[in-house]
Structures are given as structure tokens and as C-alpha cells.
Amino acid sequence: MTVDAVAAARPVPEPGTTRRRVFDVGFRLVALATLCLALAALATLIYSVLADGAGRLSWEFLTSYPSRRASAAGIYPALVGSVFVIALTGAIALPVGVAAAVYLEEYGTHSRLARLIEINIANLAAVPSIIYGLLGLGLFVRMLSMGQSVLAGASTLALLVLPVVILSTREALRAVPGSLREGSYALGATKWQTIWYQVLPVALPGILTGLILALSRAIGETAPLITIGALTYVPFLPDSIWSPFTVLPIQTFNWVSRPQTAFLENAAAAIIVLLALLLSMNAVAIWLRDRVQRRRAS
Amino acid sequence: MSTTGTGTPRLSLTVPGRAEQAESQHPVKIAVERLNFYYGQKRALENITIDLRANVVSAFIGPSGCGKSTFLRTLNRMNDIIPGTRVEGTVRIDGVDIYDPALDVVGLRRRVGMVFQKSNPFPKSITENVAYGLRVNGLAGSRAELAERVEQSLRAAALWDEVKDRLDESALALSGGQQQRLCIARALAVRPKVLLMDEPASALDPIATQHIEELIYDLKKDYTIVIVTHNMQQAARVSDYTAFFWLGKLVEYDRTERIFTAPAEKLTEDYVTGRFG
Amino acid sequence: MRRWEVLIEHALRACALLSVATTAGIIAVLAVESFDFFRTASLTEFLLGTEWTPLFADQKFGVLPLVAGTLLVSSIAMAVALPMGLLSAVYLSEYAGPRVRRVLKPVLEVLAGVPTVVYGYFALLFVTPLLQQLIPSLAGFNALSPGIVMGIMILPLVSSLAEDAMRAVPNGLREASYALGATRMQTSLTVVVPAAFSGITAAFILAISRAVGETMIVAVAAGQQPRLTLDPRVPIETMTAYIVQVSLGDTPAGTLEYRTIFAVGMLLFVGTFGLNLVSTWLRDRYREEYA
């Protein structure tokens, strides 16, 4: 082959290729930068909260009641209220949500009624949380006369998280192998016996993971609880499900609405406690999910 | 007696007396007449008529997709679980039409047990697996009675000696062959009359397969066994009667020796000699 | 035994029907109180009036200032969340390898999981002072700061939904584009994004709905002065923040002022419900095209 032939055989880059390649690299950088910007915002948020509030954290802060003097105020009733409300919310949402999911997965599939229910669940998942608050106010607080109580708050939050619980329970049920159900039916078990003795025990870790994730969202909810009348100044511990109450995010909101810096520090400290709670709940949920996946792999 | 592809029985006049004597010792347990089965619009089984006899092993053979597993599952109404299926014709077990709407399906499944191709022990202990059928059918008595029934069933499935020291351990820790025998023990615990086995050894190694085949031979004196298998040598070893299915139709049904040495239909002969399938 | 089984099925069905009952309950509660409200106040004044002073002596019930406040904050939020969310989705779907995705996606999930009152704190006490250094005329309560923070909060939603839409685009389309010599950017922007268009639009609309319904960020950082304005530097009030304001106060139940929160809530519900319906319709449409 002559030199000219080799030169002719080598491909000549089309005009504009360099420009396109520059745009491509540039675009990739811009997209990555966008992601990093979002992450930086998160990091800044965490940093600013920590910087403002870490100094205020102490055992007294966790065990004191709110007070007009910022330095003496604490989150004890709010913390207790949050735990109480969330526990009750879980106790309501778990059986109802699992029952609904079992119906949709094991009994009602493909029927028109099931389809209507599924559409409703999908819509409810996107309704703003404050609307749930208005529902709770009109239904639980007024019509059912629960008053501005822990029960009213938990019922409202239970309705709020129900779509999430139903969705994750359905996934957990779907993951149970059909051969398990077949083996049970072949021995003469009824549908409910099969569900109760075989399907639910196997699906339980997945169901619990979904519940914990749903509750970790509920623990940060402020608007619906304010609307049903959770108080912002609660110098006492809720002693029963009928008692008035407050929760951590509302206490935070109360303090953030004051101009004095000392209260703002309190708010930051309360946020740190809230985020710590959230983190531990998510950690438990992730650990559960890992255990499920590891067991499935074996 | 053999049947043609269209399902009309034809008496064979060449059978010597010994076979007839054997037949009278084994009355008809399951009488199927003109059974048609549909998945939605698609017909999967066409005009099946067959008499399965008590206390013998009947094997269903045929290429994959020919309907033998589907037919097996109609005998304990396991196909009811699949939506959109439809049955025409009658299936009588001990004279009772099992597709009668008034029939208690749950009770049927206790009397007609099933073992699946891929063993499916529950993720529970060995005892719990065997006891499950007793519990859900309300047959569990005292703890002692339960333990005794569990031991009986495990012995009947030739598994007792291997697991008697670890009854509370998870069933999933057993080997494949042991798991399958556990599933057999589980099915036997509720004292069925009929045992349906869908390719019970296809997922097992040759030694485990041999154990299962020996077990089947032992069980037939107390149970009526119907086994689906794609392994013709297994059918020849293990069964007394063989039915050959093709494309949803019953092509030929006769004593096993006859099917494998002198089948009446050319299609059967082609299949058992390996010319297709 | 049969009767027990049938009873259980009824109980399970009742629990499932609770979701239908919840929707009915929301509509009923909002409608009953709104109906009562509109017996006294005029519907036309509500929808077209430009002054909202139900808690003052001289009561005016024109809801437009609240709507304007909501739309102003939401628009700012969308200006942040939509482009950034889409870019991030493009990166995760078309560029990032599985290891990068496994790290970045959970972090984005964290962004979405932070309680909104925390974002409110961040907007009021960090972002507003920061912005005031750039824009001296920015008031302590304004629409800009919560708008931006809301955008960051909604970004993960846009990103994950848009990414799902893009990953559903069959690889064959990408390969055809690459085979013709297109760069990754060209393929992403001119082939993948248009192919996932209805899914991406569905994601955008859902994001708008989320922004409109958001409460705490604006309750903390946007102010309580209903004002018909497009100026992002001054205090305003959104529909959601108004409901919080009344709930925190001493308004007795059964009064006209009490009913205003249900009337505003009804408007909010109708708006977000409509947006969600459009979004679902769009998402179902794109699923058909590739099924």
C-alpha cells in the first residue's frame, strides 16, 4: 500500500465533531454539578442546624418542659407526645393496612371493586397532608367527638400513611413464592389458613420495613396535627389517648416563630433530636430490609 | 383395554385371564369421563376418558406441554386457584363427582394429596411441616398424638431415621431428596386415599431418585398413586399402568408392559421408542 | 368453617374500602363546611375578590391573594426543581454507572425525607439572610427563599420519576442514535427525553401539585400577609399557611372564620386533585406506548 492510500484510508473527522464533543463533556459536567448542588444544599442544611443547635443539646433539654424562658425550656412533652402518637398511628395503620393489602392481593385481584380501591389509594397518596388535617378536624375531632386528642391525631396520621403501608405490604405479599401457597392448598388448607399460617409470616419483615418507613414520614408531619388542634404550648405529658398533646415538629415550629435567638437555638436543637429519631428509624428499616434480602438469597 | 385418540373405549380380546384377575383386585378409584379443560378460550384437555385403579401406580407420560400435569391437577381441583379456568365433563372419585358445586374442596384436597415437581417445604421446622396438614384440617389431637402422627408419616416416607434427631430444625436445611421425601411425609400425614405426584424426582440426583422410586413402590399397597413423569424409563420401572398424552388428548392407556413392548397406537410406539418428544 | 372464611373476607374488604371512604370523607367534610360558608359569603367574591381579610373587623373574602401567594412560591420552586431534577435524572439514567447510582440515589432520598419544618427553619434562618446579602431589598419573610428551598425539597421527586420514565425507554432507540454517531448528550436530549415525554411531564405536574400543597416551609418563612403580587421579595401568604394560621389561633368552631379554612381547603383539594388526575392520565398513556 502506498502512503497516499494509507492517508486516504484514515477517516477524516467531520467538521463540528470537536464542538459536539466539548458540549457533551460540558453537559455531563453541568448535570453532575446540578446533582452536587443538591447534595451541597443538604450538607449545608445539616451543618447549619448542627452549628446552631448542638450547643443547646443536653439531658436537661430532653427532660424539661417548655417555658417562657428559652434557657429553661425543653422538649420532654413534645418528645413523649411524638413517640406516643407515632406508636398509636402504627397500631392503627398496621392491621388496617395489612388487611386492605391482603384483600387486594389475595382476594380481590382484577375485580372492578379492586380497581376502584387501587385508584383511590393512588390518589390519596398525592393529597396534601394539610387536607388530611381538615378531614381529621371535621371527622375525628368534631363529628366523632374525639376532641383535640392523641387519638384524633393518630387516626389522622394513620389515614395519611395508609396508602404507603398498603403499597409496601402488597409488595411484600407478592414476593412470597406461589409454591408456598400451592403446598398449603394441596394439604387442604383454606385460603385464610394459607394466608395466616404461611404467607403473612414470610411477608412480615417486608411489611414491618414498610411500616417503619411510613412512620418515619409521619413523625415529621406538622400541618395535619396543627390543623386538628395539637397544642403548641404543652407544659404537661399526655397521659391517655384522650389527652391533648404536642409533637416535636410542632414544638420546633413554635420556637422558630419567635424572634429571640435563644428560642431559635432551641428550635435547632429540637431539629437535631427529630433528625436523630428519623435516622434511627430508617436504620432499623434498612437493617430489616437487608435481612429479608439476605434470607431470600440463601 | 385401550383407548384411541377420540376417547372411545375398545375392549381388547387378547388379554389372558391373569390380567383380568389383577384388575378385579384393583377396582376403579378415579373415573374420568369426557373431561375437557380450558384456560380461558384455549382448550388444554380434550375429551379425556380414563379409569384409574386403586392401589396401583398409574403413570402419565407424554412430551412437554401435552397436558399431563394439567390433567393431574384436575384430580384435586388445584386448577381452581388459577383464574379463568373451566372444566367440562365429570371426575368421580369413589363414585363422587368432585366438580359438584356442593362439594367441599378443602376436604377433597385432604383426601387427594399432591407432591410437586420442585419440593416446596414450608420455611418452618420439620415437625411443623408434617403437622401443618393436621392442624389446618382440625385433625391435631394432643401433643403426644401429633408427635406420633408425625413419626408415622416420616417413617412411611422413609425419612424418619435421617431426621429423628433434628425434628425442630428448619426443613430448608435438608438436601433436595430429603426435602422431597418430607413433602411426601407431609402429604401422607393427613391420610389421603390418593397421592398425586407431579414429576417428583425430576429435580433430584440419581440416588435420591432411586429412593423416591423405592418409596413409591412401597406406598402403593396403601395408596392409589398417580405420577406424572417425562422420564420413560422411570414410568417403566415404577408404574403398573401407563397413559400416554399428546396435545391435550389421551392417546393410549394400558398396562405398562403393553405400552412399552406392544403399544396399540403408532403414535405411542413412536414416542416410547424415542422417535419424537 | 365456611362461615368464618366468608366473615374474614368481608372484614378484609371493609378495610380495603376504607380508602374509598377516606376520599368520600375528605370530599364530604370539605363540601359540607364550604357549603355552609357560601351561604353567607358570596362565591363570586371568593373566587374573584382581591382582598382577603376574614380575621379583621372589615371582612373581605376574596381568595385571589392566597392563590397568588401559592402560585408565586410554587413557580419559584418549579424554576429550581424542574430543570435541576431533569438534569439530575438525565445524569442518573444516561451517564451514571450502577455504583454511582447506588450511592447518589439514597442521598437524594434523604433530601426528600427531611421533615418540612426543618426546611422551613433552613429557609428562614440561613437562606433568607444569605439572599439578603445579594438582594438588599429582600424582606425577612418573602416568597423567594421558601420557593428555592421548596424546589430543593421537590427535586428528588422530579428526578426519580423522570428517571423511571427515561429508563423505560427501550435501549434500541439509544443504540440507533449512537450508531448514527450521536454523542451521549445529543442522544439524551434529542432521543431519550422526547421519548419519555409523557412520563416526564407527568412527573412535572406531580411536582407542581406537591409544591401547591406544601405547608410548613411557607408557614415558617413566607409570612402571613395575603397580598396580590408577583414580587418575590415581600411577605405573602399561601392557602396552606392561612389554614395553619387559623388553626393556631382561637377561632371557635362553627363560626364563619372557622369555615374559611374549609373553603380554602376545598379550593386547594380541587386544584391538587385535578393536577394529580392529569399526571396519572399522562403516566398511563406513556405506559401503553411501550408495553
- ipTM value of the model? 0.92
If one counts the domains in chain A, the total is: 1
- Residue C109 is predicted with a pLDDT of 85
- Residue B23 is predicted with a pLDDT of 64
- Residue B5 is predicted with a pLDDT of 44
- Residue B90 is predicted with a pLDDT of 93
Rounded to whole angstroms, the Cα distance separating C272 from C25 reads 17
Which parts of chain C have pLDDT scores under 50? 291
Residues of C in contact with A221 (CB under 8 A): 115
Residues of A in contact with B183 (CB under 8 A): 183
CB-based contact (8 Å) between B136 and chain A?
A: yes
| pLDDT-based confidence at residue B16 (cuts at 50, 70, 90) | very low
Number of residue pairs across A and B with CB atoms under 8 Å? 66
CA dihedral C199, C200, C205, C209 (to 10 degrees): 100
The H or E element spanning position B225 is strand B224-228
* Closest approach of A162 to chain B, Cα-based (Å): 29
Rounded to whole angstroms, the Cα distance separating B66 from B64 reads 5
User: Neighbouring chains of A at 3+ CB pairs within 8 Å?
Assistant: B, C
Helices (H), C123-230: 128-134, 144-167, 171-179, 184-187, 193-195, 197-213, 216-221
> Which chain B residue lies closest to A296 (C-alpha atoms)?
B123
CB-based contact (8 Å) between C256 and chain A?
A: no
* Closest approach of A210 to chain B, Cα-based (Å): 22
- Residue B8 is predicted with a pLDDT of 42
Residue range A155-175: mean pLDDT, rounded: 95
Residues of A in contact with B81 (CB under 8 A): 181-182, 185
* Closest approach of A7 to chain C, Cα-based (Å): 22
Which among A35, A99, A137 has the least Cβ separation from residue C12? A99
CB atoms under 10 Å from CB of C213, counted, come to 25
- Residue C274 is predicted with a pLDDT of 94
Residue range A242-255: mean pLDDT, rounded: 93
Domain ranges in chain C are 64-289
Least confident interval from A20-29, A122-131, B98-107:
A20-29
Q: What is the pLDDT of residues B226-239, one digit of tens each?
A: 999 988 889 999 99
Helices (H), C41-170: 43-48, 64-90, 98-113, 116-122, 128-134, 144-167
**A92-120: buried (b, 16+ CB within 10 Å) or exposed (e) per residue?**
bbbebbbbbbbbbbbbbeeeeebeebbeb
| pLDDT-based confidence at residue B9 (cuts at 50, 70, 90) | very low
Q: What is the pLDDT of residues B257-268, one digit of tens each?
A: 999 998 898 989
Q: What is the pLDDT of residues A188-210, one digit of tens each?
A: 999 999 999 999 999 999 999 99
Residues of A in contact with B198 (CB under 8 A): none
Q: What is the pLDDT of residues B155-176, one digit of tens each?
A: 999 899 999 999 999 999 999 8
Rounded to whole angstroms, the Cα distance separating B40 from B38 reads 6
Rounded to whole angstroms, the Cα distance separating C66 from C71 reads 9
List Cα–Cα distances, C37 to A145, A244, B220, in angstroms: 22, 28, 81
CB-based contact (8 Å) between C26 and chain A?
A: yes
* Closest approach of A168 to chain C, Cα-based (Å): 14
Residue B13: is its pLDDT beyond 50?
Answer: no
- Residue C94 is predicted with a pLDDT of 86
Residues of A in contact with B76 (CB under 8 A): 186
CB-based contact (8 Å) between C13 and chain A?
A: yes
* Closest approach of C233 to chain A, Cα-based (Å): 19
Which among A179, A188, A201 has the least Cβ separation from residue B120? A179
Mean pLDDT computed over every residue of chain B: 87
A17, A20, A24, A34, best to mutate vs chain C, most C CBs in 10 Å: A34
Residue A172: is its pLDDT beyond 90?
Answer: yes
Q: What is the pTM of this model?
A: 0.86
List Cα–Cα distances, A85 to A99, A150, A225, B201, C86, in angstroms: 22, 6, 10, 55, 37
* Closest approach of C98 to chain A, Cα-based (Å): 15
> Which chain C residue lies closest to A214 (C-alpha atoms)?
C113
| pLDDT-based confidence at residue B125 (cuts at 50, 70, 90) | very high
Residues of B in contact with A292 (CB under 8 A): none
Pick the residue with more confidence: B140 or A181?
A181
Kindly write down the DSSP assignment for every residue of B189-210, as one continuous string: HT--SEEEEESTTTTS-HHHHH
A103 falls within a domain: yes
Which among A187, A197, A202 has the least Cβ separation from residue B109? A187
CB-based contact (8 Å) between A187 and chain B?
A: yes
Contact across the interface for A184 and B132, Cβ inside 8 Å? yes
Contact across the interface for A202 and B123, Cβ inside 8 Å? yes
To which residue does cell 446579602 refer? C133
A40 falls within a domain: no
CATH number at residue A92: 1.10.3720.10
Rounded to whole angstroms, the Cα distance separating C88 from A40 reads 14
* Closest approach of B63 to chain A, Cα-based (Å): 23
- Residue B15 is predicted with a pLDDT of 42
Domain boundaries C64-289, CATH class: mainly alpha
Report yes or no: C42 and C202 within 8 Å, Cβ to Cβ. no
Which among C4, C88, C247 has the least Cβ separation from residue A38? C88
